[in-house]
């Protein structure tokens, strides 16, 4: 382990216990192993959560924050891609049970703050449930932050899976794993006809599977993705994550933000 490593799992148990304090922030990266079309690896969300959290934790530590990282959680709730070979998923109940176990284990250490850095949209709802469970059961301060993958304007707000943002980010992080030549545009234009029904943020939500839209499981337009756009997506996310960790370090719901 290098002197500057913030990887908790590289420490011995006694060293970990002596290192963490009541003010330590522990980051758990949360990925997924799921179908991302023919141009991206199934580990896309895991790689994004792992790499982005590592960069954020390193930068936050250099800025003086008492922040540490656990190994990533790879298998999570990807039931929307259950139909596709290459998806390895657990259910929402199993994810919640796993997070409960990790929270229970963290509560054995002096640390009291857990931050989930999430790479997979399908985890947002169960992670929200877990934040409250761990708050109530183990008196932890709990937070979550998802890797923000922007849509390109030509994706009509539908670049949510394997599209421009995610493909660009992967071309920056792991160009060796991206088969950009096999990327195709997959935008369900008909969804724009509905005023109220839509994806996150719309007043009417719907239960969907990733093969409901007539494509190969991708939702977005990866064809114009490029590594330099991915580099700025990464830079923006790391900056927001470091600022967020700083806010978390002084967050007091009863005392305001001073
Ligand atoms: Zn993804």
Q: How far is the CA of 191 from the centre of ligand 1 (A)?
A: 21
So where are the chain's domains? 13-249
Q: How far is the CA of 81 from the centre of ligand 1 (A)?
A: 11
pLDDT over 60 (residue 258): no
- Residue 99 is predicted with a pLDDT of 98
Q: How far is the CA of 12 from the centre of ligand 1 (A)?
A: 33
Q: How far is the CA of 186 from the centre of ligand 1 (A)?
A: 15
Q: How far is the CA of 43 from the centre of ligand 1 (A)?
A: 8
CB 52 within 8 A of CB 119: yes
Helix (H, G, I), strand (E, B) or coil at 193: helix
pLDDT over 90 (residue 220): yes
pLDDT over 80 (residue 2): no
Angle between helices 164-173 and 227-249 (to 10 degrees): 90
- Residue 153 is predicted with a pLDDT of 86
CA proximity to 151, closest of 117, 201, 115, 190? 201
Q: How far is the CA of 148 from the centre of ligand 1 (A)?
A: 11
Average pLDDT over residues 101-117: 98
pLDDT tens-digit readout, 163-177: 999 999 999 999 999
pLDDT over 90 (residue 236): yes
Q: How far is the CA of 220 from the centre of ligand 1 (A)?
A: 11
pLDDT tens-digit readout, 16-43: 999 999 999 999 999 999 999 999 999 9
pLDDT band at 147 (very low <50, low <70, confident <90, very high): very high
Q: How far is the C-alpha of 168 from the C-alpha of 162, rounded, in Å?
A: 9
Q: How far is the C-alpha of 204 from the C-alpha of 198, rounded, in Å?
A: 6
**Average pLDDT of every residue of the chain:** 95
Q: How far is the CA of 159 from the centre of ligand 1 (A)?
A: 10
Q: Whole-model pTM?
A: 0.95
Q: How far is the CA of 54 from the centre of ligand 1 (A)?
A: 18
Q: How far is the CA of 77 from the centre of ligand 1 (A)?
A: 12
pLDDT over 60 (residue 1): no
Tokens of 193: 């006809």
CA distances from 141 to 138, 216, 223 (A): 9, 40, 41
CA proximity to 29, closest of 74, 59, 65, 66? 74
Average pLDDT over residues 118-139: 97
- Residue 68 is predicted with a pLDDT of 98
pLDDT band at 3 (very low <50, low <70, confident <90, very high): very low
Q: How far is the C-alpha of 206 from the C-alpha of 213, rounded, in Å?
A: 13
CA proximity to 219, closest of 177, 249, 189? 189
CATH hierarchy code of domain 13-249: 3.40.50.10310
Angle between helices 92-106 and 124-138 (to 10 degrees): 40
Tokens of 118: 């999430």
């Amino acid at each position: 382990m290098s002197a500057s490593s913030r990887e908790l799992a590289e420490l011995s148990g006694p060293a970990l216990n002596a290192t963490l304090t009541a003010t330590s922030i522990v980051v758990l990266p949360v990925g997924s192993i799921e179908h991302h079309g023919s141009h991206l690896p199934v580990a896309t969300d895991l790689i994004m959560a792992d790499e982005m959290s590592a960069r954020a934790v390193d930068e936050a530590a250099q800025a003086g924050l008492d922040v540490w990282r656990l190994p990533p959680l790879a298998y999570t709730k990807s039931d929307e891609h259950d139909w596709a070979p290459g998806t390895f998923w657990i259910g929402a109940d199993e994810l919640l049970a796993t997070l409960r176990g990790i929270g229970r284990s963290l509560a054995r250490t002096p640390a009291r703050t857990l931050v989930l850095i999430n790479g997979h949209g399908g985890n947002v709802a169960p992670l929200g449930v877990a934040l409250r469970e761990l708050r109530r059961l183990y008196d932890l301060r709990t937070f979550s932050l998802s890797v923000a993958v922007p849509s390109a304007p030509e994706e009509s707000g539908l670049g949510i899976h394997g599209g421009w943002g995610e493909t660009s980010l992967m071309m920056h992080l792991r160009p060796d794993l991206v088969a950009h030549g096999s990327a195709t545009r997959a935008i369900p234009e008909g969804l724009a006809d509905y005023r109220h029904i839509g994806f996150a943020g719309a007043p009417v939500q719907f239960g969907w599977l990733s093969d409901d839209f007539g494509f190969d499981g991708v939702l977005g337009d990866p064809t114009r993705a490029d590594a330099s756009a991915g580099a700025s997506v990464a830079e923006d996310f790391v900056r927001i994550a470091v600022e967020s960790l700083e806010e978390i370090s002084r967050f007091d719901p009863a005392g305001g933000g001073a």
